[in-house]
Every structure is written in C-alpha cells, then in structure tokens.
Structure 1
Amino acid sequence: MKLITSARNEQLKHVSKLLSHGKARRAHGQTVLEGVHLLQACLQAGVRPIQVYVPEHKRCAGEAGALLAKLPEHCVTPVAAGVLSRISGLAQAEEVLTLIDIPAPPARPRQGDCVVLDCVQDPGNVGTIMRSAAAAGVQKLVLGQGCADAWAPKVLRAGMGAHFLLDVSECVDLAQWCAGYGGSIWATALSATNGRNLYDTDLTRPAAWVFGNEGGGVSAGLLARATGCVNIPMAGATESLNVAMAATICLFEQMRQRL
C-alpha cells in the first residue's frame, strides 16, 4: 500500500470535490462517508467500498483497524498524519474517509409506507428524518425537487447509517408522484382549518407522510392532494416544531399504533 503524503494527491483531490460539490457527486455517481461509524454501517449493509483512506497510525489500530482488516488490501490507502484534515469537514478530521458508489435509484413507491419531503433544505433535518424513518420501520423515502442532496456529507453524518436501510428517490415531481400513489397521504400543517389531532388519527394502514419546507411548510398543491392534514398538539405558546422533530413524533406515533 502506497502512503499518500499530500492533499494535492489526485485521489484526494477527487475525494475533496465529492465532499464539497453536489455536481461532482452526480457526475461521478459517488460520495464519501466520513468516520468509522458510517464505514461500519456501509459494510454491515453489504456495500463494498471503492477505496478507504485512513490515517497511517489508525490503519491497524482500534475500531478502524478491525473494520479495515475485513477489506481487501487494495481497497485501503494509508494517508500521512494531518493530510485528511485538510479536506474533511469533521471536527476530528483524522478519521477514515470511505469512497463509495451512490446506489442506483430504486423504483418509486406506488403504495405502502413512505416519507415524502417537500423542499426540506437543511441537510441536518433531511438526515435526521432519514434516521427516524429507519428507526420507525419506514423504508422508502421520496425527496422532491429543492431538497438537500441525500448523499451530501452533512446528510450522511446526520443519517448515521440510515441511508443503507432505506430506498431513496430524489428530485421527484411530487405532484405527479402523489397522483399515482395508491394509499393515504398525510401532511403536517399548522394552518390547516380541517387539521386533525395526531393522536386521534387512525395510522394503522399504510400511508405516505409529507413533511414540508422549514419556513413555508408543505406547499399548497400537495396539501390539496393529501388525504388529510395532521396537527401535533403543543402546550403553551409554542407555535411550531422543527420539521425533523415533527416527523419523528408522527412516525413513532404511527409505529406505536401498530405495535
């Protein structure tokens, strides 16, 4: 294994572009996982990394060393101390960086449980919703146009490995998709006059949940296509919840009703 000693190395320049630019990720069909936890999730899901870049002193040590021992030698590239910190956004930048192919887009769901995101732009929110969906047993995620890139580094970090448990469809025309979906569609909306209490709503049947933009909520066009609007009861003068928190509450209430 040849040691990389400079961030100007062509391989690391490619990794840096993938970390920084969605256009590069789309052009190459690749992304980068930052940290040992995401490498572990990747391997547990049966995904074969293209290449793993690891600080030289960690190659045979600790958790990273145990994971890397499972990979063919040609898939592991040691990097001199301090080099990866120049391209990674992690606070503890001396972590492994794993280059993978972005999975091929799945068939878009026509029925069954799914989560639909309408212009949710914050990477942390998208990743957290993905993590909550996986934990609540919902395996299909539909991202409309204008959402954060599902395979961006910040989304991957917030998802904590949920990406490998979900079927993720991106850049979907949501109005068109809703017209072809065969189940109930629930939307969360504070302003809906016909909104129903989450805890009084029957969520035992398969359904799609639509969660909207951080500032504007679910678009009027999608609200009109929804089976119903659901409100989360809140005490006091609280006006709203973060979209990721709202999604988590709704999905776990759905799971609770089905247990």
Structure 2
Amino acid sequence: MSFKHIVSRDNPVFKQLKKLADNSRERRNEGKTLLDGVHLIEAYLEAFNDAGIELIIIPEGQSSVEATGLIQSLEHIATIMLPTLMFAELTPVASATGILALVKIPQLAAPEQPAFALMLEAIQDPGNLGSMLRTAAAAGVETVYLSTSCTDAWSPKALRGGQGAQFVLPIVERADLIVELQNFCGNSYAATMQGESLYAQDLTQATAFVIGNEGAGLRKQTIAATTKPITIPMAKSALGSVESLNAGAAAAVCLFERRRQVLL
C-alpha cells in the first residue's frame, strides 16, 4: 500500500483538513467533512459505496485490526499518513480510532410532505444533536429540520453521536421553522413544560414534533406556530420531582410514542 507521509502542519492538505475539522462554515462551503473511525466509514460505504470518499487519513504506528482491514479494502483511494499528534488534532475523541476519511457531504432529498418529522430549534451541543438524529432515524422519522441557530449536523462530534444516522435521514439545515410548520400537512406538537399530555394525542396521522434549545426551550413564536403545546407527564414523589427532561430524552419519548401508536 502506498501513501503520502505528511509531517508539517504547514502542508496545505493538513491545513484544509484542520479547517474542515474545526469550522462549520468551511464544511458548508466545501461540501465536505471528516468521518472518524471504522464504524462511521463503513456506514458511509453501506449507504453510498466509496464514490464520495476523497482521502483516507491514517496515523503513524499500529492501527486496530478493524482499521487495518478497512484501510486495505480502500487502498485504491488516496491515503496520507500523519504523525500521531497531528492526527489527534483532526479527531474529536481522546483515543484515536486509527482511520479518518475525507468525504463529500451527502444530499438526501426530503419528501415534499413528510408524514413524520422532527424540528429542532437552537440545539447547541453537537453530540446531543447527533444522538437525536440517531433516535429519529431509529423511530422512522422521514425528515429532520434544523433551525438556523442549530449546531452543524456534519461536525465530527455530531457525526460520532449520530453513528450513521446522517447517511440515511434527510436533514434540512438552516430551516425557517415557522415556515416549515405553516407548510406541514398534519399536526405539529411543541414539547414544552405546559400543555396537554403527549399520551392524550392521536399521533397516527401526519405528525411533527418540535424540540427546543437544551436550556431555553422553544421560542414563543415557534410554539404559537404549532398545532398545540404538549408535555411529557413526569413522576412526583415525597422528595419532589424533576423539573424537565433534557432535549434528547424528550425527543426520544415523543418519537417512539408516535411509533408505538402507528404500530398498534
């Protein structure tokens, strides 16, 4: 296997990779991102084959058995090797997995009238966003809409949290949620601390759930644009009650309650 050995941070290839790892605007402008680890790269290959993979990046030293096997299967793709410390600058985890891939960001077409949608407003934590996308894919969501203030769905941390969800789930980024809610042909529900119980809703028709920022929740105007606000009933005890679920947990409960009703 042949590869180019890059040892300088001034190398233009490394500079480009570092920008893509660190900067959402660079990823958006270039239409590219970095996949970290065997699982993500294999998920990308399963969805798109290797047509969108432009470069393989490996560290000096010994890789895992899984990474070595994947590297060998992709030996026809241009490969570079980096010193361990430079490689670590490109990966979001403390323990490097042994392989990165530079890929084109896929563009999955969203249905014009999805029957099941998730709308996210101002989600800030990339790992949390990735986890919510993974939950959405598992629950059968057809389209996810991300507001302009949401974190980037294609950052290395969001991709790691999604575990391949971004490759199978149409994602509309920088969406105007008010407009999307006005155009949605079904019932839309704002997850809030007040409102009717989630479990009192008929979710067997076209349904959209709207989840807000981890701390601030949803804006009043966004809530007003939905069919109604709903809440997830929580247990109370002599010790008091938890004030609220986090955004990821709330999304999971709502999405799988809809799936449960549809499967009845």
Correspondence for 1:33 among 32, 35, 52: 35
Q: Distance in 2 between matches of 1:166 and 1:57?
A: 36
| CA deviation string 1:15-61 (max 9, x = no partner) | 111011112112211111112221111111125311110124456x6
Correspondence for 1:116 among 95, 116, 119: 119
Q: Secondary structure at the match of 2:5?
A: coil
Indicate whether 1:64 and 2:67 are aligned: yes
Q: Distance in 2 between matches of 1:58 and 1:114?
A: 44
* Structure 1: gaps (5+ residues): none
Q: 1:94 offset after TM fit, Å?
A: 5.2
Q: For the Cα contact (< 8 Å) 1:31–1:102, is it kept in 2?
A: yes
Correspondence for 1:54 among 43, 53, 58: 58
Higher deviation after alignment, 46-55 or 154-163? 46-55
Indicate whether 1:181 and 2:184 are aligned: yes
Structure 1 pair 243–185 and aligned structure 2 pair: CA distance change class (3 A): same
Aligned to 2:252: 248
| CA deviation string 1:47-97 (max 9, x = no partner) | 5311110124456x6111222333252333333444302333321135211
Question: Which one-letter code corresponds to 1:244 in the other structure?
Answer: G
Q: For the Cα contact (< 8 Å) 2:114–2:142, is it kept in 1?
A: no
Aligned length: 255
Aligned to 2:243: 239
Q: Secondary structure at the match of 1:120?
A: coil
Matches of residues 1-259 of structure 1 in structure 2 within 5 Å? Answer: 1-48=3-50, 49-58=53-62, 62-93=65-96, 95-104=98-107, 106-107=109-110, 109-191=112-194, 195-236=195-236, 237-259=241-263
Higher deviation after alignment, 109-118 or 167-176? 109-118
Question: Which one-letter code corresponds to 1:246 in the other structure?
Answer: A
Structure 1 pair 94–135 and aligned structure 2 pair: CA distance change class (3 A): closer
Question: Which one-letter code corresponds to 1:113 in the other structure?
Answer: F
Q: 1:216 offset after TM fit, Å?
A: 2.0
Q: For the Cα contact (< 8 Å) 2:4–2:79, is it kept in 1?
A: no
Q: Secondary structure at the match of 1:50?
A: strand
* Structure 2: gaps (5+ residues): none
| CA deviation string 1:117-144 (max 9, x = no partner) | 1111221221111010011111311001
- Structure 1 length as normaliser, TM-score? 0.90
Note the aligned Cα RMSD (angstroms): 1.9
Q: Distance in 2 between matches of 1:140 and 1:179?
A: 16
Higher deviation after alignment, 64-73 or 120-129? 64-73
Structure 1 pair 213–190 and aligned structure 2 pair: CA distance change class (3 A): same
